[in-house]
Copies of this chain bind each other. A is one copy, B any other.
Amino acid sequence: MARSQEQETEPQTATTTPPPQQARGTLGVGMVGYAFMGAAHSQGWRTAGHVFDLPVRPALAAICGRDRAAVDAAAARHGWAAAETDWRALIARDDVQLIDICTPGDSHAEIAIAALEAGKHVLCEKPLANTVAEAEAMVRAAEAAQSRGQVAMVGFNYRKVPAITFARQLIADGRLGALRHVRASYLQDWLVDPASPLTWRLKREHAGSGALGDLGAHIVDLAQYLAGELLTGVSAVSETFVRERPLLSGASAGLSGGADAVARGEVTVDDAAIFSGRLASGALASFEATRMAAGRKNALRLEINGELGSLAFDLERLNELSFHDHTEPAATAGFRRILVTEPEHPYLEAWWPPGHALGYEHTFVHQARDVVRTIAEGLPPRPSFADGLQVQRVLAAVEESAAKNSVHTPVPSS
């Protein structure tokens, strides 16, 4: 057991193992950031090529973080071949063809634009940016790069939940008819406790916004993706229920006063945002994003009602899709619980037999598959930076409406 993993995973001899897929080549990935999203993306990149039949295989070329010891540990833990401490060095690597951006929103624009200008493909976590202006600059860079054959995509990974992708297919096939309602909420509870500390996610300068950008961005994207149409305007309220929170322990070092005198700082983002909107077709949409719903851990819930049927989904039961076919006889109609684990379902051709559940991280495997195929096969990027910009415009309109007594605020068209 003295040999390293890297050695172990080499072919023993050329004669016993001619790896047939090797000839397909690889896509070298360089990832910036290695916290929660970094771990999840790593799992996606590591796994996609072993499950899906891909034209090229992603290779975990290099990971990047500012702290040398920490990034080295992350590289070893997550299976990255190299580690960098400067994202510009990461972009410069010859073995990296794709930059995967998993940092807080305030650095997205700078890194993404630099990477695109350096000729790299880009996958950028959501929200695309902290401001519309940044997002617009990113879209311009992406459009310029696209003409050079580069791909830029945004990480709305929940589009890649098979139940969601399948829901989109049903709607696109007309199974719901004319849409009347989109109902979307994303409820979490990790800020219910007022003693929960003041992390970067609670500061506007880093996170852009609170529940709105973190959770609301997902449901705005999903609503528009599923409906196949855009929001034209919104009316919103938002609230910060707990306005001061304890500083993280490191930040209070050296303070006098003992345990009772915990230093506190101001929360500068929203805890919750509620908004309604209209879709282009006239359907009504309602949204709620909050981190203060005690007992709701990851309750991203969607319901869409149309003239011919309805769909419902809950991320806490992500292998299921509820479908009501309103054209059935009333006596036998009802919401069906579809287990989205059949080989006919999106992404399922490569996984397990029916009824064998997938999990959260599979969205990142599917995202990796889609990014690779988009690059290798010249497909249109979905979701694109333009999609990310559109979501950003909705979020900006939400904030504007909330600041203006909830007055209906149009979302500019691109």
Contact = CB atoms under 8 A, between A and B. Distances in A.
Interface of A: 1-6, 8-13, 16-22, 25-28, 36, 40, 42-43, 46-47, 49-51, 56-57, 59-62, 72-73, 75-84, 93, 95, 97, 166, 170, 176, 180-181, 183, 185, 187-190, 192, 194, 235, 237, 239, 241, 272, 274-276, 278, 282, 284, 286, 288, 290, 292-299, 303, 305-310, 315-319, 323-326, 329-339, 341-342, 344-345, 352-362, 401, 405-408
A336 B335 contact: yes
Nearest to A12: B82
Contacts of A18: 72
Contacts of A81: 8-12, 17
Nearest to A42: B50
B25 A2 contact: yes
Given A46-B46, A306-B294, A59 B5 contact: yes
Nearest to A278: B237
A21 B282 CA distance: 51
Contact of A28 (B8, B83, B323): B8
A92 to B, nearest CB: 12
Given A12-B93, A352-B361, 8 more contacts: A5-B22, A6-B6, A8-B26, A241-B282, A294-B324, A297-B341, A334-B339, A336-B336
A80 B18 CA distance: 11
Contacts of A188: 355
Contact of A9 (B9, B166, B342, B360): B9
Contacts of A1: 25-28, 56, 97
Contact of A406 (B27, B339, B407): B407
Contact of A324 (B79, B295, B310, B353): B295
B190 A36 contact: no
A349 to B, nearest CB: 12
B282 A295 contact: no
A2 B361 CA distance: 28
A59 B319 CA distance: 31
